[in-house]
Structure formats: C-alpha cells, structure tokens
C-alpha cells in the first residue's frame, strides 16, 4: 500500500467514530431510510448485517481489498474505508455520512461528545510482535534493560501508547497506539501465527469548547492533521522501521 504516505505497511484502514451523549432511537424506519440514502451514493454497500449491539451496512471487498462500511450503535456512529486508493475516496464517504446522519438520526451539537479519526497501519508478521516492537523502537532504552539481562528473556508485552494535546484547552488530541497480537502461548511454544501488528494513529475532538463547529468542518480538520502526522511522523518513524525489521527477518 502507498496511499499518500509512501509507507511499507500491508493494509491501511481509515475509520471515523462519532460518540453521542444520548442513545440513538434505532427505530426500524429511521435506520433503513438512513442506510438506503447512503446506499444510493455507494451502490456497493448493499450488505446489511445485525449484531447484538449494532447494525452494519457494508460492501464486499474488491480484489484490492478495498471496502466501505457503516455501523450504527446505541451511542455511536462508526464508518470507515479499508484499503482506500485515494484520500478523496475517504473524504467522499465521510461527507455523505456526516451530512446525512444529523438529518436522518436527529442529531445536533448538544448530542456530540467527541469525534475520532483513526488510521490503522497493519504489518503482517509471524513472530513475537512485542519483542519486535521493543527491539526496533526502544532498543537499549533503560525501561527494556531494566527487565532483561544477558539471558535475553523473551518480551511478552510491549504495546506503547501515548497521547498529546494539540490545543491549549485539550479539546483536540492525538494518540499513538501499537497493538501486538502475540500470545504468551505462542512465546512459550515458539509456534507463531501470521498476524497483523497494527500501528494506530487517532485524532480526537471534544465538543463544548469555544464556538460550535460543524461535523464536516471538524472531520475535515482532523483528517488534515492526521494526514500530516502520518506522513511526517508516524509512517517514517514508526511504521517503516517496523516494516524494515520484519523484512530483515524473512
């Protein structure tokens, strides 16, 4: 995958989450009308699935693995694009959903808690994810050396997580989260499954600070900041070094 970042990741997932203060009514007619309106814009989104706590509208994945999806929960609206080819494709899905949702689902500023834009960079790796992250990103850091010695104890949990405020009043925030999927059983037996090690970049905006901002404007600003952070920081400093370390072990 390249997208606009030129990264070495295997899969890219771009998703949005709008968390609400009051539960959605989830009435049959309202939900179906909303989903049908979205489907008119994206005819491929014709698969409706029901989960215990959610309703999901999605499309079948293309040969390249691209797939749009939309999920309604009692307290949140989620949607995303797996393996988008262009940023414009992500923006179009976002514009359609965020323009239609307030009208169809009767939403307003008072109901918005926070909005998130999340980029998930997947790296396929068969091995100890935690060990790879520790050796690649932390190296000889004192925290790692504190728990290891010349016997080279295997690392069973190394999932760095950090958040920063991007504004003085902390209403806009950015988070980096590295998710390992290695189990202690795999470490103990040295029998590893091929799984995704994922680097998550999350941009979050809370409502109730300063003047009200439209959903579309807030989402556009989060996307722009996420693209900038991904291109300048996350991909070159985290994703690519991990990808290079994986490639060196094949």
Percent of the chain's residues with pLDDT above 70: 94
Instruction: Please give the DSSP secondary-structure letter assigned to residue 83.
Output: S
Helix (H), strand (E) at residue 161: strand 161-165
How confident is the model over 18-59, as pLDDT tens digits?
999 999 988 899 999 999 999 999 999 999 999 888 999 999
**Mean pLDDT, the chain, whole residue set:** 91
pLDDT tens, 56-92?
A: 999 998 877 889 999 999 999 999 999 998 889 999 9
Per-domain boundaries in the chain: 11-248
Query: Residues near 55 by Cβ (< 8 Å), separated by ≥ 6?
Result: 26, 31, 35, 48, 49, 71, 72
What's the Cα-to-Cα distance from 62 to each of 48, 83, 84, 224, 226, rounded to whole Å? Answer: 17, 10, 11, 26, 25
Question: Which tops the pLDDT comparison, 6 or 10?
Answer: 10
Asked whether the CA dihedral 43, 44, 46, 51 is positive or negative, the reply is negative
Q: How confident is the model at residue 122 (pLDDT cuts 50, 70, 90)?
A: very high
The model's confidence at residue 137, banded by pLDDT at 50, 70 and 90, is: very high
Predicted TM-score (pTM) of the model is 0.92
Dihedral sign of CA atoms 148, 153, 157, 158 in order: positive
Element (H, E) at 69: strand 67-73
Whether the predicted pLDDT of 222 surpasses 60: yes
What does the block give as tokens for 245? 């370390």
Say whether pLDDT at 196 is over 80: yes
Please give the CATH topology (third level) of the domain spanning 11-248.
Double Stranded RNA Binding Domain (3.30.160)
Looking at the predicted structure, is the pLDDT value of residue 152 above 90? no
pLDDT over threshold 60, residue 1: no
**Per-residue confidence band for 151, with pLDDT thresholds at 50, 70 and 90:** low
Mean of pLDDT values over 159-171: 94
More confident residue, 193 or 249: 193
Residue 159 is encoded by which pair of tokens?
């999932």
Helix runs in the chain, H state only:
28-41, 87-105, 129-133, 142-147, 184-189, 215-229, 240-248
Is residue 146's pLDDT more than 60?
yes
Chain segment 166-193, per-residue pLDDT in tens: 999 999 999 999 999 999 999 999 999 9
Nearest Cα to 123, choosing from 13, 233, 17, 3? 13
Q: What is the mean pLDDT of residues 106-133?
A: 95
| Percent of the residues in the chain that have a pLDDT greater than 90, as a whole number | 77
d(C-alpha 216, C-alpha 91), whole Å: 10
Distance in angstroms (rounded) separating the CA atoms of residues 226 and 119: 8
Instruction: Determine the average pLDDT of the residues in 126-151.
Output: 80
Q: What is the pLDDT of residue 148?
A: 60
């Amino acid at each position: 995958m390249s997208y606009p970042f030129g990264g070495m990741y295997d899969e890219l997932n771009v998703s949005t989450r709008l968390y609400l203060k009051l539960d959605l009514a989830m009435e049959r007619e309202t939900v179906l009308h909303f989903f049908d309106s979205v489907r008119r814009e994206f005819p491929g989104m014709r698969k409706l699935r029901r989960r215990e706590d959610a309703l999901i509208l999605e499309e079948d994945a293309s040969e390249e693995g691209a797939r749009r999806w939309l999920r309604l929960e009692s307290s949140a609206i989620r949607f995303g694009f797996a393996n988008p080819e262009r940023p414009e494709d992500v923006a179009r899905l976002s514009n359609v959903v965020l323009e239609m949702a307030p009208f169809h689902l009767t939403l307003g500023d008072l109901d918005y808690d926070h909005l998130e834009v999340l980029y998930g960079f997947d790296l396929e790796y068969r091995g100890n994810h935690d060990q790879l992250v520790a050796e690649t990103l932390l190296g000889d850091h004192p925290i790692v050396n504190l728990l290891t010695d010349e016997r080279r104890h295997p690392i069973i949990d190394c999932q760095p997580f950090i958040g920063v405020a991007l504004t003085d009043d902390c209403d806009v925030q950015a988070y980096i989260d590295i998710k390992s999927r290695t189990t202690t059983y795999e470490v103990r037996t040295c029998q590893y499954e091929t799984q995704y090690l994922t680097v998550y970049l999350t941009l979050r905006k809370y409502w109730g600070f300063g003047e009200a901002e439209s959903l579309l404007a807030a989402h556009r600003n989060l996307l722009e900041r996420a693209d900038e952070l991904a291109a300048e920081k996350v991909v070159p400093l985290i994703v690519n070094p991990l990808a290079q370390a994986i490639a060196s072990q094949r």
